[in-house]
Structure 1
Amino acid sequence: MAPCATGESAAMHLAGASKTSTINASVLHGPRDLRLERRTIEDPSIGELQVAIHTTGICGSDVSYYKKFANGDLCACMPLSLGHESSGVVVAIGPQVTGFNLGDRVALEVGIPCGQCGICRKGRYNLCKRMKFRSSAKSVPHFQGTLQERINHPATWCHKLPDNISFDAAALLEPLSVAIHAVNRAEPTPGSSALVIGAGAVGLLTAAMARQSGCSTVTIADVDQGRVEFAIAKGFATHGYVVERPLHSSPSCSSMYSPSSSGTSTPLDGVMTPASTLSVSSQFDYARSLAADMLSLTASDPSIYSDEEEADGVDVTFECTGKEVCMHTSLYATRAGGKVIMVGMGTPVQTIPMSVAHLREIDILGIFRYANTYVTGIKLLCASERARKAGKAGVSGGGCLLPFLDQMVTHRFKGLENADRAFELASKTVDPEGKLVLKVVIEA
């Protein structure tokens, strides 16, 4: 058994003493008002570890807070450190903590439930009403995020990392957990077909997990061509569909991508109408047409569908944008008896064609963050890394290997003093040189 604590820190705790030190922290005071400040931090208390943060990925919710000092209906009312996709190194160990040593590399699960309520006892702790989640304004005072040099965090929610998982991949365990939870809710059977709408980090990882779970085809759709091409080139999805951003009220073009015989992506032309200019009934027609075009990528492939009725939709659609028109499209793209998984959180009140779900018995399932996923994510990453080093590719167990997650990190910024630059870039899809922006991280 590992010691509870070592060195001076342990001695001070056993003596009942505690000391404080100062650290740097990136603190948001208002829209785009990010400041580097000095904060005090105490020794870790009972059950806690002190972790020196190494890598923090910037999430879409972080960008929302940065730009608006709010995320959806949650408005910050006091200074807030952002960041919740993080990994680091244990630098101090509190009393009554076992299983950890100084220098251990860890990934942080940053939601802390009460652990006592009925929902926690059932294992669905992500739904705990008393959940405290770092970098969220939901609880008051706000639970500060990980864009600090060091934080104290419950050891229960720190996950030790094997040597073959990098700090970058460990930080991405947080969005990967969302994807794992989404696929767990979907329960696709081997050979299923899937559609993922939205090719941001969560959408890409959801597509990868759908493939890993055994889905034979995974189509990913997005308005950003670069992200769709990345998804196909790196093996996150088997097919891709691009809907160009409408510049005005006239029709805009769309492109569909599928692997050609040479392994490259081949564009096919289609025509779409911007949904924002249409009435509600016309928006439904637009979504139905869009869904049909997405389905046409695979519907004619006899190796995927055994009859025409099965080709009338995918088995499961993962909606990863939260946009109303994307929810419409999801329903029209899903076969009778299939499932729509609501992954993205966007438009809070939506008008949707409910009769489509009703008459076709489509299950609409919501997800909120994740629960019991980090151990699974670490095991999957380890297995993929071992197979990759052994020169294996393609299928592992029930599905494909997870893509190399480190390649999702397209931009790195060194030091908390550069956090504002990192957030500005994370709010864009391409950098000043025209390169794809996918995942931006801030390193110690």
Structure 2
Amino acid sequence: MSGDNLAAVLHGPLDVRFEKIPIPEPSHNEVMLCMGSVGICGSDIKYWQTGKCGRFTVEAPMVMGHEAAGTVVKVGPGVHDLKAGDRVAVEPGVPCRTCHLCKTGKYNLCKDVSFCATPPDDGNMCKFYKHPADFCFKLPDKVSLDEGAMLEPLAVAVYSCKRGEVGPGSHVLICGAGPVGILAMMVAKQMGATSVLLTDISENRLAVAKSLGASHVIKVSTDDPKELANQIEATMGCQPNVSIECSAVDFSFRTAIYATYPGGSIVMVGRGSFDVTIPYTIAATKEVDIKGIFRYANCYPAALEFVSSGAVDVKSLITHHFPLLDTVEAFKTAKSPDSNAMKVIIHCDQ
């Protein structure tokens, strides 16, 4: 535990400062971690650019980072399953554990959840960080800290496919070929999907998706959702019975409604406009189920099994690495379309 606890702290839009914060002392059921790998998420970029993401606003300085893995350096009272030296992935959302939502397994919807780097809660883009032990998942020797950090977006993908009820024989449309969209494609195939089509405006991202197993890809070149829905059906040879919207673009949501087979499901992963105009009558008369998701619940074990077994190769999406002091450059790289970045990892132990 030598050295200062340096942290990347967001004070407002485009205002990241490197500050020394106190080294935390683990309490009951907590562990202190030396942070290793922390990924940059789309929500991190929104906070960095605008100070806001969805309904959350940065109103006080906040340590960034929530896609993370590190090494246990100290355990608090009551911790029996982890010890110093264990490498763990951090599930960043910690609920109250006692409300009805928690007790029925929907702890991601707990009204008192504390989630890393979601105002007002600090994240883990720092050297030392403490976290409840039961939300830390021990990594097998063959799983790296980089892969451990990738369990967070992979958990989103797992939860999205579960909500969409992807299974053997499913035909899946995924709007948006970013990290979560491509991970959802990889998970859908592991769950038995017969075909998976991804749409995007980026040729590079679609090429990555195709190289990693996408059945079909379409570069979006129209502003007519019905026209794109027709392209999707012609390319797949059928209408998808599960559509997963990962682009956070209203147009994609409308496209999914037109494209989805009657009786199918649309899973809303991306965060588009608060008040989006949709073809409601089409969705209603097709009996298409529109399902929201908020993060994930009980998905880290499955995500870890996918990675440790080699079923899902998350390393293939990691394109850039930066030390903690280069966090600003890392964010610029993650945001820039010219960098062709997929997943950018910050190494807090460098």
Pick aligned residue for 2:260 from 330, 334, 351: 334
Q: Is 1:370 aligned to residue 296 of structure 2?
A: yes
| Equivalence for 1:258 | none
Q: Deviations over 1:371-429 (max 9, x none)?
A: 00111111121222xxxxxxxxxxxxxxxx32x21121100002x21101001111122
Q: Is 1:50 aligned to residue 32 of structure 2?
A: yes
Alignment of 1:381-420 (within 5 A): 381-384=307-310, 401-402=311-312, 404-414=313-323, 416-420=324-328
Pick aligned residue for 1:238 from 203, 215, 223: 215
Contact 1:21–1:41 (8 Å) recurs in 2: no
- AA of the residue aligned to 1:358: A
- Measured on the aligned residues, the alpha-carbon RMSD in Å equals 1.4
Pick aligned residue for 1:288 from 211, 217, 226: 226
For residue 82 of structure 2, give the secondary structure of its aligned residue in structure 1: coil
| Equivalence for 2:280 | 354
Distance 1:147 1:215 in 2: 36
Distance 2:5 2:207 in 1: 41
Identity of aligned residues (%): 38
Pick aligned residue for 1:441 from 334, 345, 349: 345
For residue 335 of structure 1, give the secondary structure of its aligned residue in structure 2: coil
User: By how many angstroms is 1:59 displaced?
Assistant: 0.2
Pick aligned residue for 1:74 from 51, 56, 67: 56
For residue 29 of structure 1, give the secondary structure of its aligned residue in structure 2: strand
Cα 1:167–1:21 shift into 2, 3 Å? closer
Distance 2:3 2:227 in 1: 60
User: By how many angstroms is 1:70 displaced?
Assistant: 1.2
Distance 1:378 1:326 in 2: 30
Q: Is 1:319 aligned to residue 245 of structure 2?
A: yes
Distance 1:73 1:383 in 2: 37
Aligned length: 348
Distance 1:171 1:45 in 2: 24
Moved more, 75-84 or 186-195: 186-195
| Equivalence for 1:182 | 160
User: By how many angstroms is 1:185 displaced?
Assistant: 1.0
Contact 2:171–2:193 (8 Å) recurs in 1: yes
User: By how many angstroms is 1:189 displaced?
Assistant: 3.0
Distance 2:164 2:12 in 1: 38
Alignment of 1:12-91 (within 5 A): 22-91=4-73
- AA of the residue aligned to 2:297: A
Contact 1:55–1:167 (8 Å) recurs in 2: yes
For residue 46 of structure 1, give the secondary structure of its aligned residue in structure 2: coil
Cα 1:122–1:21 shift into 2, 3 Å? farther
Larger Rg: 1
Pick aligned residue for 2:95 from 113, 135, 148: 113
Alignment of 1:234-273 (within 5 A): 234-235=212-213, 237-243=214-220, 254=221, 272=222
User: By how many angstroms is 1:21 displaced?
Assistant: 8.2
Q: Deviations over 1:328-375 (max 9, x none)?
A: 100011011111111111212111111111111111111110000111
Contact 2:167–2:188 (8 Å) recurs in 1: no
User: By how many angstroms is 1:22 displaced?
Assistant: 4.1
Contact 1:21–1:42 (8 Å) recurs in 2: no
For residue 78 of structure 2, give the secondary structure of its aligned residue in structure 1: coil
Task: Give every structure 1 segment of 4 or more consecutive aligned residues whose post-TM-superposition deviation is greater than 4 Å.
Answer: none
Which structure 2 segments of 5+ residues have no match? none
| Equivalence for 1:393 | none
Contact 2:24–2:129 (8 Å) recurs in 1: no
Q: Relative contact order: is structure 1 or structure 2 higher (C-alpha 8 Å, sep ≥ 6)?
A: 2
User: By how many angstroms is 1:99 displaced?
Assistant: 1.0
User: By how many angstroms is 1:164 displaced?
Assistant: 1.3
For residue 337 of structure 1, give the secondary structure of its aligned residue in structure 2: coil
Contact 1:429–1:438 (8 Å) recurs in 2: no
Distance 1:73 1:427 in 2: 21
| Equivalence for 2:333 | 425
User: By how many angstroms is 1:124 displaced?
Assistant: 0.5
Q: Deviations over 1:70-98 (max 9, x none)?
A: 11232111001111000010001111111
Contact 2:24–2:128 (8 Å) recurs in 1: no
User: By how many angstroms is 1:430 displaced?
Assistant: 2.7
Distance 2:19 2:64 in 1: 13
Q: Is 1:167 aligned to residue 145 of structure 2?
A: yes
Contact 1:192–1:216 (8 Å) recurs in 2: yes
User: By how many angstroms is 1:188 displaced?
Assistant: 2.2
For residue 296 of structure 1, give the secondary structure of its aligned residue in structure 2: helix
